Structure 1
């Protein structure tokens, strides 16, 4: 009888160790991974450049600059840049109307236009060099550089001479 008690106690210890060091941590890990992927799937958003433009146009003040930031990041990929005229016209229109908006919207819109690589935005960005906000002016100059917009060279030289010639 003593042998059966010893076997029973050893068997009980094995099950305790099995549950304590393998099964319970495995279950906790599985639930943690499921929890992580559940939130990853629930919070995943795929937005197109047109969706971001719509958010910039009609979104709340914080959503506008965030959408402009996301758009500028998204348009750095040349495969995603829309080629249609409607998108180009909407970008220019939003940029021109954003002069009365949060300067961050205008800044990120300028960078978005520069990252497209489309020469058509150059003349609009040259006008952006006259903004009141320094960040917006700098973004317009950077966007012109990203576009390699040759007609802007004289305007940028003139801009720097005016701003930095007098101490």
Structure 2
């Protein structure tokens, strides 16, 4: 008799836990007010990020991927030692995407100048993906983008970066 009760009890407990977990994790359920308060003001031991704020769709930026990759040679001892290949996108005001493509040749020219300068000052040597190096590179690229397009550009995103050593 006991041999039947224990497996039956475990099966019932497992079924109850499965149903409870399914209800708790069901998509489309709204969190309780205490969950929302905790997400906005997480405790010091709570590692969950704060809940995202809703943004007015009219304020959402557009992201414009520049058509071609940027290829930057790294010259050492009068020869090309490696190549850095980057893909860039611009964060612009909503509806400004066509403005970017209209001036893309001028934009690319200025950005290539920044990338060549970054390469010549050693920015792509060693751990070239270090946060401080990428922040200064993004800042310089943003300055060029703003000088060409004006304040409708709000950020430059490095979407791909690779160094190929030769």
Please confirm whether the aligned pair reaches a TM-score higher than 0.5, indicating the same fold.
no
* Greater relative contact order (Cα < 8 A, sep 6+): 2
Larger Rg: 1
Give the structure with the larger strand fraction: 2
TM-score normalized by the length of structure 2: 0.29
Give the structure with the larger helix fraction: 1
